[in-house]
Amino acid sequence: MLIIGHRGAKGEIKQNTLESIERAIDSGVDMVEFDVMTTKDNIPVLYHGLRFSAWGRKQLPEVMSYRLLKSLRPNIARLDEALEHCANKVGVDIDVKTRKVDAIIKTLQKYYKSPDDIDKFFLSSHMFCTLKRIQSRWPEARIAAYSLNPFSWIVRNQRLNLFAVGFPRKQRLLIQPLAMRLGLKTYIYSVNDRASAEKYEKCGTWAIITNEPSALIGKPKPRKR
């Protein structure tokens, strides 16, 4: 069973940052998950999608230039920076939070060029239109659907060639048996204790997403200076 760091190491350090990704990698995760949106000038950045106030107005990265966004959020990371941190170390789950997928796909294709590279990452989203666009533009890429609705993935799987289905741990009995019967990989979020992880592994779960990889796996390995 694979262990995926949620937004890096969300429960240990500021999420969706290069530092959070480094913490997850040092803890020994198999993959790192992070959220991606695109700025107004088509720069993919790590961002969950929650709005924040700027000059008294709530705005999203999609209506800002990267330069402006960087001035407001100095620790904002670009997708290419995150992929550089993960290259040849861990797999990647890119949670796409936008309908603007072209720049994201273009960036990914610079790092994953050969057919063998397809196994090193997958793209996930809760938006059907986003998954559909990704598949139409990059048919070889592995895509995964997740949703708080325990049955929406069934419709999506009929229309798309899904690789995996993600779901909250409380919905496991509703989703996992059927998904596995249909040949889909299953991953559960969020799992932060070893006892639960061991239980899900026995159930045939493909991967779990954790907020606290250090607690689940062990203390981060010291980096060489």
Amino acid 182: pLDDT: 95
Amino acid 52: pLDDT: 52
Amino acid 188: pLDDT: 97
Amino acid 49: pLDDT: 73
Amino acid 81: pLDDT: 98
DSSP string, 155-206: HHHHHS--SEEEEEGGGHHHHHHHHHHTT-EEEEE---SHHHHHHHHHTT-S
153: phi > 0 → left, psi -120 to 50 → alpha, else beta; which? alpha
Amino acid 134: pLDDT: 97
**Over its length of 225 residues, how does the chain's per-residue pLDDT go in tens digits?**
999 999 999 999 999 999 999 999 999 999 999 999 999 999 999 998 755 544 445 568 888 999 999 998 899 999 999 999 999 999 999 999 999 999 999 999 999 999 899 999 999 999 999 999 999 999 999 999 998 788 889 988 988 989 999 999 999 999 999 999 999 999 999 999 999 999 999 999 999 999 999 988 876 655 554
3-state secondary structure string, 82-117?
Answer: HHHHHCCCCEEEEEECCCCCHHHHHHHHHHCCCHHH
| Tokens 């026995």, located at residue | 202
Q: How many CB atoms lie within 10 A of CB 95?
A: 22
- The pTM (predicted TM-score) of the whole model is 0.93
Amino acid 225: pLDDT: 44
Amino acid 58: pLDDT: 57
- Pick the closest to residue 85 from 123, 14, 34, 143 (CA basis): 34
